[in-house]
Structure 1
Amino acid sequence: MTNKTLLITGASGGIGRATVHLFASKDWRVIGVDRVSFGENFPAGGLFIQADISRGDEMESIFTQAQEFTDSLDALVNNAALQIAKPILETSVEEWDAVMAANLRSVFLGVKFAHPLLKARNGGAVVNVSSVHAIQTSANIAAYAASKGGLLALTRAMAVEFAPDEIRVNAILPGAVDTQMLRDGLGRGHVGDGDVQSRLENLARKTVSGKVGTPEEIASAIYFLADGEQSSFMTGQALVVDGGATARLSTE
């Protein structure tokens, strides 16, 4: 049986890297995309493409290379993202547009380019990595929250349009996960003013589970949505994986 093939953007980051290794351990061939190098341990038999998904011409080049590598895709994971943590009044038009290009337009383009490859093997799965900021947010992160909210609406639209091609489209909404992006955003003042470890511990206490998630936990949820045997009856859905953070009333 031919191995299944995954294309994932943001492959070099915390969640992306964990997802690459999980799928490879399940005998999937992996095409990874990131604007920074993955390093020397990209899975054998796969393909790493260094490119900027916020640029339309580079998105087209990514899928030209993907088509040279494989004649079909079983899953597309739109994971790459840009986060700018600033008050709305201090966010420039250029910064707003950069977030939308990286987090939303890239998914629109990626699915357009990936559609023939997904359809080639009688359907597949698209997993869009959104965020809990799409449904519950905080101050000084408006552009990111807006892009991730738009991604939920786009996920539903894709699910409706691609159902005749047997392509399922779902979104995953991670909460606080210990990645470099999370650590870079800890200076917004929402979890105190101590060192990074103190801020992480304060953040963990805000979740029902009492912990910050790991990239591997999110990767497992992505695999569930991508795997046609486990989630075959799911499409157009938003799966929240946040340690229960959004389950608790903010007034308690």
Structure 2
Amino acid sequence: MGKNVLITGAFGGIGYATAAYFKRNGWTTIGMDKFCGRDTEHVIDIFLNLDCSMKENVDIAVKRISEEYGKLDCLVNNAAVQVCESINNTTEEQWDKVFRSNIRANFLFIKGMHELLRNAEGSVVNVSSVHAMATSRNISAYAASKGAILAFTRSTALEFAEDNIRVNAVLPGAVNTNMLREGLARGNFGGESIEKRIENLGMKTPSKKVAEPVEIAKVIYFLADNEWSSYITGQALVADGGVLAQLSSET
């Protein structure tokens, strides 16, 4: 039996690119997302049009994978929500929405999929963010949730090591996704187009570009595949074009 992967937030920029990359490498891809707006035929083998943050939907995914495969080689916790508001303007409802999607869903999936991951001696890749390490104004809920993912990754890696399940996190920097574009659209950039804003953002990084989703997908694949990263667990791999390595005073 071949390898299979479950990716949450499968129709987001990183999620869809990740599904496509795993598919090209011969994996069976299972995607879950509450949105459905892309072709699944050539990228996602099984699509579950469900909200990742609800336990009953996690149970549906567990049942489906158990019946079809009896194991899960990799879980990619990618689903995320971003709220761009100051702390004072962030409502309790917005805060809870971010944490339900960005960290509660990770907990539910890791707990629910444990037996299936153990059967495969599989891996978990949690998609965090550079905002867990260094952040911006008016994004506190998102940054806090991404920081929580790092702590949860380390703790889960320690508990699951006895079952030969590896758990790691990837911390992307700026990636050319709808989430980034929506965030840039909220700012006041003097009438600049979104493309120009993305170009300017890229020029602020040492690598002089914003990442494309497939570049993050390749990092996720590296952490997922036991042949490539068999001795890596409990770690946070930053993929940000060098942003966190650079002193802010030197930009």
Q: Same fold (TM over 0.5)?
A: yes
Q: Which residue of 1 aligns with 2:237?
A: 239
Q: Which residue of 2 aligns with 1:154?
A: 152
Question: Does the 8 Å contact 2:23/2:44 carry over to 1?
Answer: no
Q: Deviations over 1:54-75 (max 9, x none)?
A: 2222222222222222200110
TM-score scaled by structure 2? 0.95
Q: Which residue of 2 aligns with 1:72?
A: 71
Equivalent position SS for 1:6? strand
Distance 1:43 1:119 in 2: 28
Distance 2:54 2:8 in 1: 13
- The letter of the residue matching 1:114 is M
Gapped runs of 5+ residues in structure 2? none
- The letter of the residue matching 1:116 is E
Q: Deviations over 1:171-219 (max 9, x none)?
A: 0000000000000111454877522112111111110000000000000
Distance 1:141 1:192 in 2: 22
Q: Indicate how the Cα distance of structure 1 residues 195 and 229 shifts in structure 2: closer, same or farther if over 3 A, else same.
A: same
Where does 1:116-135 land on structure 2 (aligned, <5 Å)?
Answer: 116-121=115-120, 123-135=121-133
Question: Does the 8 Å contact 1:54/1:98 carry over to 2?
Answer: no
Match of 1:219 among 202, 217, 221: 217
- The letter of the residue matching 1:31 is I
Question: Does the 8 Å contact 1:103/1:147 carry over to 2?
Answer: yes
Distance 2:125 2:87 in 1: 29
Gapped runs of 5+ residues in structure 1? none
Equivalent position SS for 1:30? strand
Distance 1:45 1:53 in 2: 16
Distance 1:216 1:192 in 2: 30
- The letter of the residue matching 2:184 is L
- Mapped pair 1:250 → 2:248: yes
- Mapped pair 1:103 → 2:117: no
TM-score scaled by structure 1? 0.95
- The letter of the residue matching 1:58 is N
- Mapped pair 1:81 → 2:80: yes
Q: Indicate how the Cα distance of structure 1 residues 45 and 138 shifts in structure 2: closer, same or farther if over 3 A, else same.
A: closer
Equivalent position SS for 1:89? coil
Where does 1:15-54 land on structure 2 (aligned, <5 Å)?
Answer: 15-37=14-36, 39-43=38-42, 46-54=45-53
- The letter of the residue matching 1:108 is F
How many aligned positions are there?
250
Distance 1:153 1:95 in 2: 22
Q: Deviations over 1:150-183 (max 9, x none)?
A: 0000000000000000000000000000000000
Q: Which residue of 2 aligns with 1:186?
A: 184
Distance 2:50 2:44 in 1: 19
Give the % identical residues: 51
Distance 1:44 1:246 in 2: 32
Distance 2:79 2:154 in 1: 19
Q: Indicate how the Cα distance of structure 1 residues 73 and 192 shifts in structure 2: closer, same or farther if over 3 A, else same.
A: farther
Q: Which residue of 2 aligns with 1:63?
A: 62
